[in-house]
Amino acid sequence: MEKQNKKSEPSFYVNFKKVYARNIDSNISLLNFLRHNCKFTGTKEGCSEGDCGACSVLIFDEKGSLAPVNACILKVGQIIDKNIVTIEGASKLSSADPLIQALNSEAASQCGFCTPGFVMAALALKEKHKSPSERVIHDSLSGNLCRCTGYRPIVNGIQSLKEKIKFPMPINSKGSKLKTAIFGKTTYIYPDSKKELIEFISKEKNYTVLSGGTDWNLEAEDSNFKEQKILFLNNIKEMSTIKTKTSSFEIGACVTLSKFEELCREFFSPFLDTIIRFGSPQIRTAATVGGNLGTSSPIGDLAPLFFVLEAELSLLGPKGERTIPIKDFFRGYRKNALKRNELIYKVKVPKTKKEDSIFSWKLSKRYDQDISTLSLAAKFKMDKNHTIENIILSAGGVGPTPLLLDKTSKLLKDSNLRFNQNSLITALSHDISPISDLRGTANYRSAAMVGLIKKMQRSVISGEKQHSIMSI
Amino acid sequence: MALDNKNNISVGKSHYQDSSFRQLTGRAEYIDDIPLSENTLHGALILSEIPSGMITSIETEKAKKFDPSITVITAKDIPGRNDIAPIFTDEPIFAEKEVTYVGQPIGLIVASSMERARAAVNEVQIVYKKDKTPILDLDLAFKKKNFFLKPIHFERGNANEQIKQAPHKLEGSFSMGGQDHFYLETHIALAIPHENSEFTIWSSTQHPTEVQHGVSNVLNIPAAKISSKVRRLGGGFGGKESQSTIYAAIAALGAYILDKPVKLRLNRKDDMASSGKRHDFEVKYSVGFNKKGKIKGLDITLLSNAGNVCDLSAPVMSRALTHLDNCYSFKDFTARGYICKTNTVSNTAFRGFGGPQGMLAIETILERVSRFLEIDLDALRHENYYSLKNGIKTPYGQIVKNIKIEKLINEMETFAGLEKRKLLVEKFNTSQINKNQPYRKGIAFMPAKFGISFNKVSLNQAGALVHVYTDGSVRLNHGGTEMGQGLFIKVAQVVSECFNIPIDYVHISGTNTDEVPNTSATAASSGSDINGMAAWKAATVIKQRMLKHASKVFQKPPSSIEFKNGLILSGNKSMTFKELAFSCWENRISLSSTGFYKTPKISWDQEKFKGSPYFYFTWGAAVSEAIIDIDTGESRILRADIIQDCGTSLNPLIDRGQIEGGFIQGIGWLTCEELYFNSEGKLLTLGPSTYKIPGSRDVPPEFNIKLLENTPNEEKTIFRSKAVGEPPLLLSISHFLALKNAVSMASETSNADLLNAPATPSKILAAVHNDHSM
């Protein structure tokens, strides 16, 4: 009897030991579970919104590779049967010792509250890279904030270490078989096939669709104690994989930004900076392609990229899949074409052709781990005489939804990029309707959009990549 | 005490922060990590949603329906005084009838878990009668003469007459933003009730004594029964000087009413909404000068945004006004300070404490004058530096001694190669313009003088308690708090030096009001100056007793006996420190002593705004090189060179950490950190997703730091060291000046006057385009 109970009880692994999620009265976060239930208090809460990294822990993926993730915006319901490593587990590993000693020698810890999170981010980096460049170190620390040191001793400590760090293999990294789990009044449902998914959405009405949770879990505080059903999608293989077809990629909606980054590295490299700046490694470990489109924010960083690539979305409803072009998906501020009981299933992205060039630029107050103030993406095709045959421009942060800049595209094409500034401003004024908010004024956004188009113009004319001042 | 540290056993050595290794392995215990007894309850705050108005009712039925076991606590439940103001009596812990800012605590909900308490708070509804005309900004407060205290006015000579007669004059105004402390550990307190109305209060505070007094007043229980403790803070930066008291008092009130331990940990949102920040300032000025940039007359008015209560705004204004001179002698000088009362969160201490605002004001004015005259800013500064020729008396009457400006300038030229780099920057910009490329560089030097001591004389005192045990181990306790700045290891080094014992003989203990009472806040950069000296005095008393006893044991005069590396030597005889300690005990000699220190030579008349408030000045200089992108307004610091005067450093590794960290914190204040209030007075930047502090990539790729060498403090400070906590932050102003320099070279139409702090991409592009509306 007890054995059977245990089998259907939600559990996961912390520091290579199995823990059961018992006696829980709410939709609890991994952070609170670690601190209160496991008494692993080395993992800290700094912000509870996935931005400071004090709560960073490591999570193994199904291939046994590890990545940092923010425990504050990850729910226990999302990590059933997964392997988690905290500072308590990591600092006991003899392989981690040289890193900790190096950081100590550099005085990389002052008040120390952010420190365990930095150690976890550094471990994840050093597990993959023997001798990372400064740039890669900054990429890997972009989800960790320190208010005391000024970072240099942390970066130096990591740099001084020239060996990779080895981790033990995770326990039982095969997928989870659990069908449901209950945390207080919250029920998680875990379909693991398209069939089960369709069955569920055909009969249920009130539920929340969840994958990475990097957006939805921020708002979860209000619903943690309320009766709710959460449909967790990550166990459906097809939704978490990228399929390469002859002329396109089929990207499952639950493909994480980390996985998408690998695809971009190979096939859409001009987008790579924007993808890395989508969010910190901790965020990219959890955040998904479908989630970013599904929230339908006017500044979702992926949308402009998909607009110019002319992607199509495959939406799944009780009656099966239907396909719509991405330009028809967004229907207003945080509104989209999803019908009741529909969800984004896949994104079909055509491969770029040899003669296509792509460009993207993200503009934010801070270079790393910041929400875009505005963004621009472009795809253009030049003929042999360097005349533009075709151009698509898309922008985020300058209207209620991500936009196609039709008038501006036409101007650029018709003038073959030899436009004057006033005609550009006029064309843009038809395409965009920015507002003023905490990220910038409307006038700033308009002026900066002109600046971004100039950058693109320079890049096309010179054929050289335009660099951000942060990467020169 | 030695003037150099060559033969020292501890002082001057680069020891690590005392618990660095425990922090790196997750084993350092913060207040939220303290194991709790099973009956511990958790609190969450009910905060005001409007900036100004009257509370009509607080509806808690829905919250009680959600969880019937919760307790709601409001102002009417307070047994003592509903006030925790540090200086005046204007700061209620809970708004009773009137609310005066969005985010003001109105009540506390106590529940079985933090999550439940917060969920219950979400169910509370407050009905208000809104005040239709809240005062949300400095301009309106100034117009309506809504001030705290009498405006400060002080002058020397006749500034207005000199301005009138000067060959050139300029006038203008500009503003500078505030700054959230963004310590990684939010405010937290754990209150534990004991028998006989005793309470233990664990709180993340820079000022345990003020917590003790606050709790004592609110509960109406004598201070002697309140034990206020903290082992370490997860960052303070001034934000936990006075601001932690209210949360400690609220937790204590919960514990008092329920007779159970109550923990109150604020989430980031509540912390940023309810707790004070760096004051935003507005500056109005008129200045007269000659063609070489010699300032003939200067008239400056500072407005500070105090927020809803006065808190520490008066001394913050005093420090701002006494740092308007920076390194310059202004003979004809008038300054005014208005502490404006607004319906926004009460601003408070923040690293620099008004000094950065005062210094940014004068540096901005001088930069403008240099652009107006089309002369080099450093040449202009030369005309005005404190010197025997130009004068060495500050406008408030203190004599500036041991001026190190020239030394800094000379060393900086070798260190940073300033003059050559100015040319390289111009060359770079010309080539960018010619190639139609969007980058522009700028470069700027700046010197900084910072006054050390609390502006309020009575605060300049400290106590310590040292015990030597019979095994030769030493327990050290003092009034200073450890918040990452390395105070504990520095003071331990002092004690280790006094007994000449290895540093690991000295056990560092957490701060508490039981062992050392009536302490000052660990603030004003004074931590190691005053606590180090108090600990030295305590250890010296014990050492003298031990020496006297050793003299008896060895039958040699004390002068022939030496304490050396854990041994006591006399001729060819020796014993260990442990043996001597044990022998002292056997012979009934006390091995425990307190130590007390008060800073000498300081005086201040706030009424006349005259005196010598600072025991000494620290000196520093920096060169920053910046780059901007005129397509987007993005900016970056490319290189920083800093030389800081730390006297004879107690611990160069720790001091370097303070310099780097302080500088980067200043860069944040001046560039990416922007507090954004909506038109209803609600702060919208309530977390790191919207409030951006610098990240690792924002640090200059080339970052050179040097401590000024062979400069022992001329005043008798502990081992002739100098304070280091705040001064380096002010050097970040060099980066702001470099940005202005870059903007001024951006194009023919750009206008660097439009660039105010924080220099966000938005503001930089506005200045480049000379367009106010951005």
| Residue in chain B lying closest to A184 (CA) | B116
3.30.43.10, 3.30.450.20, 3.40.50.740, 3.10.580.10: CATH of A180-238: 3.30.43.10
Low-confidence winner among A379-393, B335-349, B424-438 (lowest mean pLDDT): A379-393
Q: What are phi and psi of B121, to 5 degrees?
A: -55, -40
Question: Are B634 and A468 in contact (CB < 8 Å)?
Answer: yes
Q: What are the structure tokens assigned to B733, written together?
A: 């102003």
Element (H, E) at B727: helix B727-730
Q: Judge whether residue A3 has pLDDT over 50.
A: no
- Residue A430 is predicted with a pLDDT of 97
Give the largest CA-CA distance in chain B. Answer: 86
Let me know: does A326 contact A307? Beta carbons within 8 Å.
yes
**Of chain A residues 17-36, which have a CB less than 8 A from chain B?**
25-26, 28, 32, 35-36
- Partners of A456 on chain B (C-beta within 8 Å) are none
Cα separation of B397 and B392, whole Å?
10
Nearest to B455 by CA among B359, B354, B329: B354
pLDDT greater than 80 at residue A1: no
**Which of A 409-448 lie inside 8 A of B, CB atoms?**
438, 440-441, 443-444, 447-448
Q: Element (H or E) spanning B442, and its range?
A: strand B439-452
pLDDT recorded at residue B3: 62
| pLDDT of B379 over the 50 cut | yes
Residue B288 CA to residue B167 CA, distance in Å, equals 7
Residue A344's nearest CA partner among A299, A369, A312, A308 is A312
CB-nearest partner of B697 from A110, A148, A470: A470
List all residues 6 or more positions away from B666 whose beta carbon is below 8 Å from its beta carbon: B352, B356, B728, B729, B730, B731, B732, B733, B735
Give this complex's ipTM: 0.97
Give the pLDDT of residue B144.
Answer: 97
d(CA B547, CA B552): 9
Q: What is the dotted CATH code of the domain comprising A10-173? A: 3.10.20.30
Are the C-beta atoms of residues B327 and B445 closer than 8 Å to each other?
no
Cα–Cα dist A237/A197, whole Å:
12
Element (H, E) at B338: strand B333-341
Question: Is residue A5 very low, low, confident or very high in pLDDT (cuts 50, 70, 90)?
Answer: low
Q: What Å distances lie between residue A409 and A389, A417, B301, CA to CA? A: 11, 10, 51
Give the residue from chain B lying closest to A110, CA to CA. B484
Distance CA B363, CA B732 (A): 12
Is B29 a catalytic site residue? no
**Binary contact (B26, A116; C-beta < 8 A):** yes
Our CA dihedral for B723, B724, B730, B731, rounded to 10 degrees, sits at: 120
Strand, helix or coil for residue A314: strand
pLDDT band at B1 (very low <50, low <70, confident <90, very high): low
> β-pairing, B702-707 with B635-644?
parallel
Q: What residue in B sits closest to A25 (Cα-Cα)?
A: B116
Q: Could you give the CA distance from residue B223 to residue B211 in angstroms, rounded to a whole number?
A: 10
Q: What does each C-alpha distance from B226 to B31, B188, B195 come to in angstroms? A: 17, 17, 12
pLDDT of A75-113, one tens digit each?
Answer: 999 999 999 999 999 999 999 999 999 999 999 999 999
Other CB atoms within 10 A of residue B739 CB: 29
In a 3-state reduction of DSSP, which class is residue B577?
Answer: helix
Mean pLDDT of chain B: 97
Q: Could you tell me what percent of chain A has a pLDDT over 70?
A: 98
Which pLDDT belongs to residue A222? 79
Q: In the predicted model, is pLDDT for residue B450 greater than 60? A: yes
B113 residue type, one letter: S
DSSP B492-505: HHHHHHHHT--GGG
Q: What is the pLDDT of residue A65?
A: 87
Cβ B685–A438 below 8 Å, yes or no? Answer: yes
Ramachandran assignment for B145, one of left (phi > 0), alpha (psi -120 to 50 degrees), beta (any other): left
Which pTM was predicted? 0.98
Lowest mean pLDDT among A209-223, A433-447, B273-287, B368-382: A209-223
Q: What angle do CA A453, A458, A462 make, to 5 degrees?
A: 155
DSSP category for residue A35: I
Instruction: Show residues of chain A in contact with B657, CB under 8 Å.
Output: 107, 110, 148-150, 153
Share of chain A above pLDDT 90, in %: 90
Name residue B570's beta-bridge partners.
B561, B573
Instruction: Please state, in angstroms and as integers, the Cα–Cα distance from residue B438 to each residue in A373, A454, B743, B744, B773, following that order.
Output: 19, 9, 12, 14, 22
At A219, the pLDDT band (50, 70, 90 cuts) reads confident
Contact A113 B30 (CB under 8 A): yes
Per-residue pLDDT of B459-476, as tens digits, reads: 999 999 999 999 999 999
Of the pLDDT bands very low, low, confident and very high (cuts 50, 70, 90), residue A173 is low
Reported as a single tens digit per residue, the pLDDT across B151-201 is 999 999 999 999 999 999 999 999 999 999 999 999 999 999 999 999 999
pLDDT recorded at residue A4: 43
CA dihedral in degrees (B390, B396, B399, B400; nearest 10)? Answer: -70
pLDDT in tens, B728-755: 999 999 999 999 999 999 999 999 999 9
In order of start, what are the domains of chain B with their CATH numbers? Answer: 20-27+461-598 (3.30.365.10), 36-132+184-274 (3.90.1170.50), 135-177+278-388 (3.30.365.10)
B576 - beta bridge partners?
Answer: B567
pLDDT at A464: 85
Superfamily of domain A356-472: CO dehydrogenase flavoprotein, C-terminal domain (3.30.390.50)
- Chosen for mutation from B16, B18, B23 (greatest number of chain A CBs closer than 10 Å) is B23
The structural domains of chain A, with segments of one domain joined by +, span: 10-173, 180-238, 356-472
Quote the pLDDT of residue A461: 87
Q: How far apart are CA B599 and CA B716, in angstroms?
A: 10
CB contact under 8 A, A150 and B661: yes
- Which stretch of DSSP H or E encloses residue B670? helix B652-670
pLDDT at B314 > cutoff 80: yes
CB count, 10 Å around CB of B411? 16
**Neighboring chain B residues of A103 at a CB cutoff of 8 Å:** 24
Q: Across all residues in chain A, what is the average pLDDT? A: 95
* Cβ–Cβ pairs < 8 A, chains A and B: 273
- Chain A contact for B770 (CB, 8 A cutoff): no
- Best B13, B485, B631, B703 residue to mutate vs chain A (most A CBs within 10 Å): B631
For the stretch A312-370, pLDDT in tens is 999 999 999 999 999 999 999 999 999 999 999 999 999 999 889 999 999 999 999 99
Segment B607-626, tens digit of pLDDT:
999 999 999 999 999 999 99
CB atoms within 10 A of CB A429: 12
Q: Does A46 touch chain B (CB under 8 A)?
A: yes
Distance from CA of B467 to the nearest CA of A (A): 26
Nearest-angstrom CA–CA distance, B616 and B113: 50
Give the three-class secondary structure for B320: helix
Nearest to A447 among B115, B484, B765 (CB): B765
Order of all β-strands in the sheet with B635-644:
B439-452, B616-629, B635-644, B702-707
